[in-house]
Amino acid sequence: MSQDEYRGDMLPGHTDFQLPEPPPVQRVNGRRPIPEKPAAPEPAAAEQPAPEVDVWDQRVADALAFLRRRLAGAYEVDEFGFDRELSEAFFHPVMKVLYRDWFRTEVFGIENVPSEGSGLVVGNHSGTIALDALMLTVALRDKHPLGRHLRLLGADLVFRMPVMSELARAAGATVACNPDAERLMTSGQLVGVFPEGFKGIGKRFADRYKLQRFGRGGFVSAALRTGTPIVPVAIVGAEEIYPILADVKPLARLLGVPYFPITPTFPWLGPLGLVPLPSKWLIEFCPPIPTAHLTEFADDPLVVYNLADQVRETVQATVHELLEKRPDPFGP
């Protein structure tokens, strides 16, 4: 306030003085101003008062019923192997701990994700292992009013690895190929894809938040063919979880993987190096790009390429905006 603007009535003690209205409470970081009640109380509930016991009875009964259904095989799996019950009861709660408490994720623009019908969520890929894909899945479950499931399209390397392939399928992922993408979209699912692929997650820390090439734009032609809106999404935070300082190419070739990362903690600390650094995550969904009017251009390379470029630039610009919102990568 300059000298000219000085007004006496703004001083406390004056009759017209009003306390300036506080700004509305805004969640600026993962910590809430008012502590919420924890989602799952600690099992050390022995000293809890008597009425709580019934809740625990219910929980034990539910857990036993779940166990019985699993052991008897009495659950449904869709044609891609997606196990909805297991995802909702096990995968999501586990990943949500990482999402909420470790990465303190904030989500913007969830209203841009379609409530019904298909959608193709296209994001930037980073973080050495594809944790960003998992966090995006949790974000949609957690923040979307309908709690939509994201069906991820993964590299075939994921499906080559035992155990990993089955976990991925049970969690709703399938191989990234046009037939599967189109099939999921025609059945009205929300499909998630990271067109940068290994180029994105395997890039060095020095190249962080620089989007890599977007492949051949296969995801665009699949969306065009089915008339599915494309929702670009920018994810900030995944670059810092395992910063790749160097990539040991000969070792990667020996192991048959796309890259062998050297991070400040891996492989020096052994298994401890697998703990992701607790960076602050921001996820923003951009307004959807409708494609229903472009169906006949699905095979037109110019249209496909331009649209892929548009998506890429949108994501890149949004990543920069988010980075400005988050001055400190490891801030609160």
Partner 1 sequence: MTAPPSVVVVTGVSRFLGARVAARLAADPRIDRVVGLDPHDPPASLLGLLEGVERIRADARAATEAIADLGAEAVVHLAVTSVPDAKLGRAGMKEQNVIGTMQVLAAAQGAPRLRKLVVRSSTAAYGASFRDPGVFTEDTEPRAVPRGAFARDILDIEGYVRGFRRRRPEVAATVLRFAPMISSSAETSLTRYFSQPVVPTVIGRDARLQFVHAEDALEILHRSVTEDHPGTFNVAGTGVLMLSQAVRRAGRVSLPVPETALSSGAALLRQFGVEQIGLDQVDLFVHGRVVDTTRLIEEFGFTPRTTAAAFEEFIQAHTEGSTVTADRLALAEAAILDGIRKAREAAS
Q: List interacting residues with partner 1 (CB under 8 A).
A: 53, 57, 60-61, 64-65, 67-68, 70-75, 77-81, 83, 156, 159-160, 162-163, 165-166, 169-170, 174-175, 177, 179-180, 183
Q: Which is nearer to partner 1, 65 or 254 (CB)?
A: 65
Nearer to partner 1, 175 or 289 (CB): 175
> Shortest approach of partner 1 to residue 67 CB, angstroms?
8
Nearer to partner 1, 77 or 110 (CB): 77
Q: Closest approach of Cβ 69 to partner 1, in Å?
A: 9
Query: d(Cα 166, Cα 161) in Å, to the nearest integer?
Result: 9
Whether 332 and 31 have beta carbons less than 8 Å apart is answered as yes
Strands 261-262 and 119-123: unpaired
Whichever of 186 and 295 has its CB closer to partner 1, that residue is: 186
What six digits make up the tokens of 70?
Answer: 């699993």
Nearer residue to partner 1 within complex by CB, 183 or 204: 183
Rounded least distance, CB 73 to partner 1, Å: 3
The CA distance from 281 to 239, in Å, is 10
Cα–Cα distances (Å) from 100 to 33, 157, 179, 214, 269, in that order, read: 15, 29, 34, 30, 25
Shortest Cβ 122–partner 1 spacing (Å) = 20
Residue pair 110/143 in contact by the 8 Å Cβ criterion: yes
By CB atoms closer than 10 A (0-12, 13-18, 19+), residue 199 is middle
Closest separation between CB of residue 269 and partner 1, Å? 26
